[in-house]
Amino acid sequence: MTNRLAALVTDDNVWPWLRDDPTLAEHGVDVGHVPFADTEQLTRRLVGADACVSVFFPAGLASRTGDRLRLLQIAAAGTDHIAWPELPGTVTVANSYGHGRSVAEHVLMTVLAGRRHLLWRDAQLREGHWRTRLVDPAAPTFRNLPGTTVGIVGTGHIGRAIATLCAAVGMRPVGIRRSRSERTTTEPDFAWVDGPHTLPELLRESDVLVLACPLDESTRGMIGAAELDLLGPEGTLVNVGRGALVQEQPLYEALRTRRLGAAALDVWSTPASPAPTPASPLPFHELPNVIMTPHCSATAEDTYRDRAHEIAGNLKRLAAGEPLHNVVRAGEVGQDR
């Protein structure tokens, strides 16, 4: 095969799986790796690439892609880290998944931990306080999962995986999604799914609210003080979508004053950083009814293995001239660069 596809990988998590995949070379795909932080080498090698596999694609890269680039393969589901205005219209953008089960397990773990006051009980016992009804009648009680209604905002890959796992342990999933305008009771594992207009009803009905939807102008700040009051003092909020889906100040106040029972927050408006950086300018870390995690719900090893398999399939399809999967934006052939 004379015309080989050059794919440049910047994501360190999927790289080992792509590097060790013998089927890529057999299908005419040559993969190379440059760490995303090595800006100089990345910029230099990008001009000779037919495809780039990355999570981030800022303006400095998007405006210097060269004439060969045909595919920007995002090694994640979210595409909010792409500098869309600078990216040439001739470049097709596709995303990848493989993380639904990992996120679903994280949701189940934090729901159990929050409802059973796990972190608080752990901290109390480390200080010698036995906060259990066996010896302390004032210790909080909790309920088992069966019969709990979990409202899921966003019923895509992640939302469906969450619903499946929740249903398996006796919870009752209900959901809303943007593409629905009327209720259905036929989606697997969901008691019902309806459109965004039913958010108030979903909040009133839910014991647990899970945010698993994309961030855009229609969802930014969708959960504020009024929505949290509908969820109520016995409710639990789990956010595995994006930090900006929730208005941070009202959330903090609702948790501090116990107008909301508990929250498990895996995403924040503050960007992740390798240097010590507070997750929020607000002191969420002082609240005993919050579980804080650093956007790690999707990061199981299985995720990167499955994601690399999806990406490898797209690279082989590109080399063979076949239709790509998970296309977010199709490249416009003949558009000026």
Instruction: Name the pLDDT band for 2 (thresholds 50, 70, 90).
Output: low
Element (H, E) at 17: helix 15-19
Q: Give the distance from CA 316 to its chain's centroid.
A: 26
* pLDDT level of residue 273 (50, 70, 90 thresholds): confident
Confidence of residue 45 (pLDDT cuts 50, 70, 90): very high
CATH code of the region 5-98+301-329: 3.40.50.720
Amino acid at 61: L
* Cβ neighbours for 165, distance < 8 A, ≥ 6 positions apart: 101, 104, 105, 107, 108
Q: How many CB atoms lie within 10 A of CB 17?
A: 18
How far is the C-alpha of 125 from the C-alpha of 174, rounded, in Å? 36
Is residue 248 a contact partner of residue 282, using CB atoms and an 8 Å limit? yes
Alpha-carbon distance of 116 to 103, in angstroms, equals: 20
Residue-by-residue DSSP string for 100-162: HHHHHHHHHHHHHHHHTTHHHHHHHHHTT---STTT-TTS-----STT-EEEEE--SHHHHHH
Q: What is the mean pLDDT of residues 277-284?
A: 96
- pLDDT surpasses 80 at 337: no
Give me the mean pLDDT over the 276-283 stretch: 95
| Sequence-ordered list of residues with C-beta below 8 angstroms from that of 71, at least 6 positions apart, any chain | 50, 51, 52, 91, 92, 93, 94, 314, 315, 318, 324, 331
Across the range 30-48, mean pLDDT stands at 94
**In the chain, helix, strand, coil percent, each to 5?**
35, 15, 50
The confidence score (pLDDT) of residue 62 equals 87
Using CA atoms, how far apart are residues 221 and 245, in angstroms rounded to an integer?
A: 5
- Give percent of the chain above pLDDT 90: 91
Going by the DSSP 8-state scheme, the letter that residue 197 receives in this structure is G
- Do residues 82 and 74 make contact, with C-beta atoms less than 8 angstroms apart? yes
Q: Does pLDDT of 277 surpass 90?
A: yes
- Average model confidence (pLDDT) for the chain? 94
Angle separating helix axes 100-115 and 157-168, nearest 10 degrees? 50
Placement of tokens 């016995």 in the chain: 234
DSSP-derived 3-state class of residue 213: coil
Minimal CA–CA distance to 314: which of 124, 12, 149, 74? 74
| CATH fold for domain 100-292 | Rossmann fold (3.40.50)
Q: Are 114 and 264 in contact (CB under 8 A)?
A: yes
CA–CA–CA angle 41, 46, 48 (5° rounding):
115
- The domain segmentation of the chain, as residue ranges, is 5-98+301-329, 100-292
Angle, to 10 degrees, between the axis of helix 100-115 and the axis of helix 301-320? 160
CA distance linking residue 302 with residue 106, whole number of Å: 14
pLDDT exceeds 60 at position 335: no
CB-based contact 335:67 (threshold 8 Å): no
Average pLDDT over residues 65-73: 92
Q: Is the pLDDT of residue 122 over 50?
A: yes
| Tens-digit pLDDT profile for residues 199-258 | 999 999 999 999 999 999 999 999 999 999 999 999 999 999 999 999 999 999 999 999
The mean pLDDT of 268-297, rounded to a whole number, is: 93
Give the contacts of 126 (CB within 8 A, at least 6 positions apart): none
Q: Evaluate whether 5-98+301-329 and 100-292 have a shared fold.
A: yes
Residue 234 CB-density burial (10 A; 0-12 exposed, 13-18 middle, 19+ buried): exposed
Q: What angle do CA 335, 94, 65 make, to 5 degrees?
A: 50
Cα gap 99→1, rounded to integer Å: 34
Residue 1 has pLDDT above 70, yes or no: no
